Structures are given as structure tokens and as C-alpha cells.
Amino acid sequence: MPVAVAPLADGSALLCDLAPDGGPAAAAVRVDDLPSAIAARERSGRVRWVWESAARCYPQLLAAGLRVARCHDIALVEALLLGRDGRHREPAALTAAWGRLHAGEPEQAASPATSAAQQAAAQQDAAQQAAAQQAADAPSVRPGAVPSGGQQALFEPAGYRLTGAELLDALTAVHADQLARIAADEAPARLRLLAAAESAGALAAAEMSFDGLPWRPDVHDELLAGLLGPRPARGSRPRRLAELAAQISAAFGGRPVNPDSPAQLVRAFAAEGIPVASTRSGVLRGVDHPAVPLLLEYKELARLHTAHGWAWLDAWVAGGRFRPEYVVGGVVSGRWASNGGGALQIPRVLRRAVIADPGWTLVVGDAAQLEPRVLAALAGDRAFAEAAAAGDLYTELAGAFGGDRAKAKVALLSAMYGGAGGEAGQLLAVLRRRFPVAAEYVESAARAGEEGRVVRSVLGRSCPPPSAAWRSLAAGSGDPGAARSVRARGRFTRNFVVQASAADWALVLLACLRPRLAALGPAGAPGTAGSAGPGDGRPHLVFFQHDEVMVHCPEGLAGPVVEAVGAAATEAGRLVFGATPVRFPVTTAVVSCYADAK
């Protein structure tokens, strides 16, 4: 039963049961104690809470000791539907969706200064150009990168919030509209699954932020001190970085050189008769000069100090927990991002600080060779699928490359990511002959991108369309820049169909794992009040990164948690890909310290 939730300023709320089409099924009811009312409904049966945003609404319930089983996140579902229609950069918040529904009714528009039609036209034009530029430049965007901030929503002026009955009206109307748009999709069942999984991911993200990842500040401090020296005064270089800076200047003949200044480094190399295009590590590794190994070490340690040093420790770790803010669907492929803290890029050296509480353990699940297996399931190439059904996919494919596993890996990665130069091109040609259906699947996606078309993941997440500027450039004949831009977009769409489909699977895995974990702990049932931490005896998700999950649980529940992870992976494969011989094994490690998981 879907139930719309409209919180009020005084702490009360309006609840309204919704019909299957999303509209009101009964009159709204006002409740004074929202957590108690939600807990009672959770205990009474299956409920799906319809609210504007889990990121906005759910933390308050968690703070009250309440967890829910499922929800419909209006903002996340709206973003999926806008993306499907090539409108990725339009605002997806409830107020924006409500404004678009009532664009023809000036009294309902959120910005009366401009007509809704003018707003929509201006926003659509800007959105297309911004999204297309991102698509054209996509190969330079690494997985996990946080997208740049969007423009101010035209339908959502600063400080504007729906409240009370107006909020409830907006929730029910937008929810009904979203259900209708999903039903009209070319593959409604898949898009419906994606919307449900995205909403479940929002619940998991809020819970992981609330519970926090176990983190030992004392161990973190010891690791930093061992690499950088004692904690320096604010604004000063750590001892090891200061030593390296002095050695770098000495390597350049004693001339003072600031290793943090690329311009100074370029000039210093030029003075030595060595022109360098940049001071990136990849460029420096090809330079023969005594300063190079010092610079490479300096860069690595400076990056650690800046991104995860003592300032990070002070800002992000409290009470023995690292509590990042996850951004569900923060990357166009559907992968998550984070608002600060580097939650998705924990350096390997600092994983020693992630230690389970006494009497507890960490269960770390890692999906082995996920993206190649996803390609096998997507393409339906029988020979390739049979290889993917085995243990190590690259080993199984090695027979096509004279038994060389490394060459099989290069060929497969080239197929997915578009590498075709040198030996990679030769190996890719072998893969095309041996597994033509799988090769054609990604090459078809690349052609679609080069032709300016949009591709979708297995569950229906769409890539951004190209901009008018890209189309104009691509139409030019004989322009090397145009050819590069066309190829770049082809590489992007080639990878998108695989990476976004892998993100679909991982998200459904998360959605399948949550209820299994909830059923294990004595206080884990949704709707049960209680603290959300080690004291409640409940296993809980504490980390999720693309193809990896981590559960913090009592030692006695490690076995059932391992089984739950495996069962969730199997169910995710069935739900996302249907009947396929491809298996999606998840390797699990039960450890007290995250660094020991791999």
C-alpha cells in the first residue's frame, strides 16, 4: 500500500493512502507523532512511503530510532524519468515536478515573474547543451567523479518549500504522473524495478550515513605519522613533505622549487634542458632526472595529506564513525557519488583504520569481474556467456588468445572501453572473431553514440544526449576535431551500456540485501524503534562502492550475513537479467579490519 507523507512544520504530518494509479484512495489523516504512526503502519503490513526525498525525510526518522522497509523517492524517480527524456539537467525536486505539471496554470507556477512556457524553453535549451557537453567529454570523467553543481532550478526559487495540504497535493499528483510515465515506457517492468531500486538505495544511503563506517582515529593518526611525520602546525608541511621539498630543490641544483607549483616545476625542468608538457605523474614517469622519484613520492604523500590527512580526520570522523553523505545516482551511469569526505575513494593505506567494534566483524562482499559478466548477460553471446558462467572469466577466455589470461583481459577491456591502439587492437580483433555477438553489442552502442543517439542501461537509465554544439561540430566533414569528438562520444556510449547496467545490478543487489539483513538482528525488523548502532545487535550496511558492499555485524551473525550477500547477488542477477547462464559471484571476506579483505 503506497502512503504519501507530508510533514508539517510543527512536527505533525498528513498521511494519505494512495490507490494503485497513485491518486488518493482515502481522505488524508493528520498524525501528531509521525515516527509512531509510521512504525505502527510498518508493523501492520507492506507499506511503501511516498515522500519528496529520502535524503531529506528519512534522517529524522532514523534519529527517532525508526527504519522503514520501502519508499518511493519522488526526486530520484523524477530524475530517472527526466533522463529518459533527454532532460538530465532539469531539476528533479518535488517543487520542480509540481511546477512542470502546472506549467499551464500561472497561479500554481513557482516563479511568477516568467511564464512557465518561457521557463521550460530556456531550461530545456540550457539542459541540452550542458548534458551534451558532459556526454561529449565523458571519457575524461572517471567513475565515481562527483558531477558539477547544477543551475538554480527555474521552478524552485531559493527558499521555496511546499507545506501542508499543498505538499500533499503535490506528492499525490506527481506520484500519479510518475506511475503513468513509467507505465508508458517501452519497458515498464524494467523501469519500475529501477525506480524501486533507486528508492531503496536512498534508504540504504541514509542508513549508512547514520550508522557510520567503524573508524579508529588513533590508528589513522599512527598511519599518517608513519608516512608523513608528526602532525604539523596548521598551514605547515608535514616533516616528510618538507624533507622531500628540500631534496627536490637540491636535485635541481639548489634552486628553490615549490613542488606544489606546476609552473615552477616546468621551468625547473626546462632549465635542465628537459621540456615537459605537464607535471602529471604519467608524464614524469617518462622523464630521466633525479628529481622525478622524489616528486612522485611527494605527489602521493601530498595527495594523502590533502584528501585524507588530519584535517579530514577532524572533519569527518566522530565517535569512532566515518559518516559520509552519499549521493544516490550522482553519476550519469547510476553510480553513486558523495558530498565530500571521499567516501568512494578510501586509500588502501588507510583501510587499516577501518576496524570492527569488539565482538563484531566486517563482512566485505566484492562482485568479481562484474562489468565483463554484465556484458555477457547483455549480449546473449552463448559462447561468451558460457565462459562467464565459470569462475575466472579471463582464464576461461584465455583459450582464444593462446592461453594468455593477460591478453584476454586486455581484449575484453578494450571492447568495453574503446581501446584499439597497438596490441589492444590486435587482441580486440581476435575477440570479435571468437565472440562476435558480444563485440557487436558494444560496437552497436558506440555507433549509436557517434550518430548522436541515446543508449540505455538494461533497466532503462539513459545517457545524456549530445548538445547542439556537438551536433554542429560532428556535422563538419574533414575536421580532425570533429572526428575526435565523434569517437569520444562513441567510447562513452560503448562503456555506458555496460557500466550503467552494472550499476543497475549493484543497486538491485543493495535493495535485495537490506531486508535480508533486517531479518537477522533481534532489533532489525523495519518499524522497530531503537538505537541504530552496535548496541542493538543488528547487522547493518556500512559501505557501498560500485561493486562492493560491507556489513558490520556481531561475530555470531557472520555466517548468515555471508549467505544473505550471496542470496541477494543471485536474486539481483535474476531480477535484472532474467534467465541467463551468466553468474554474478560475490567473493566475501569476514575480517576485523577492512585492509585484510583483499
C-alpha closest to that of 502 among 385, 365, 336 = 336
Residue-level pLDDT at 133 = 35
Q: Which CATH architecture group holds 371-499?
A: Orthogonal Bundle (1.10)
Q: CATH code for 323-370+503-597?
A: 3.30.70.370
Sheet holding 213-214, edge to edge: 213-214, 321-322, 317-318
Take residue 115 and report the three cell numbers written for it. Answer: 511564464
3-state secondary structure of 109: coil
Give the pLDDT band of residue 106 (cuts 50, 70, 90). Answer: very low
Residue-level pLDDT at 587 = 92
Residue with cell 560532428: 474
- DSSP H helices, 229-341, are 239-251, 262-271, 281-284, 291-308, 310-316
Give the pLDDT band of residue 288 (cuts 50, 70, 90). Answer: very high
Task: Give helix 436-450 / helix 480-518 axis angle, nearest 10°.
Answer: 120
0.75 cut: is pTM over it?
A: yes
Does pLDDT of 88 surpass 80? yes
C-alpha closest to that of 342 among 303, 295, 299 = 303
DSSP characters over 456-478: B-TT-PBPPPPPHHHHHHHH-SS
Q: Residue 17 gets which letter from DSSP?
A: E
Please tell me the least confidently modeled range out of 18-32, 92-106, 276-290. 92-106
Instruction: List the chain domain ranges.
Output: 2-211, 218-313, 323-370+503-597, 371-499
DSSP H or E run through 550: strand 548-554
Does pLDDT of 522 surpass 60? yes
Q: Chain centroid to CA 240: how far? A: 35
- Start-to-end CA span in the chain (Å): 43
Residue % of the chain over a pLDDT of 90: 60
Residue-level pLDDT at 420 = 60
Does pLDDT of 215 surpass 50? yes
What's phi and psi for 502, nearest 5 deg? -65, -40
Select the more confidently predicted residue: 130 or 354: 354
C-alpha closest to that of 545 among 220, 382, 326 = 326
Select the more confidently predicted residue: 199 or 154: 199
Fold of the CATH domain 218-313: Taq DNA Polymerase; Chain T, domain 4 (1.20.1060)
- DSSP H helices, 356-479, are 370-379, 382-388, 393-397, 405-417, 422-434, 436-450, 468-475
Residues with Cβ < 8 Å from 543, sequence gap 6 or more?
208, 213, 343, 549, 550
Q: What's the mean pLDDT in 402-420?
A: 75
Does pLDDT of 269 surpass 90? yes
Q: What's the mean pLDDT in 34-51?
A: 92
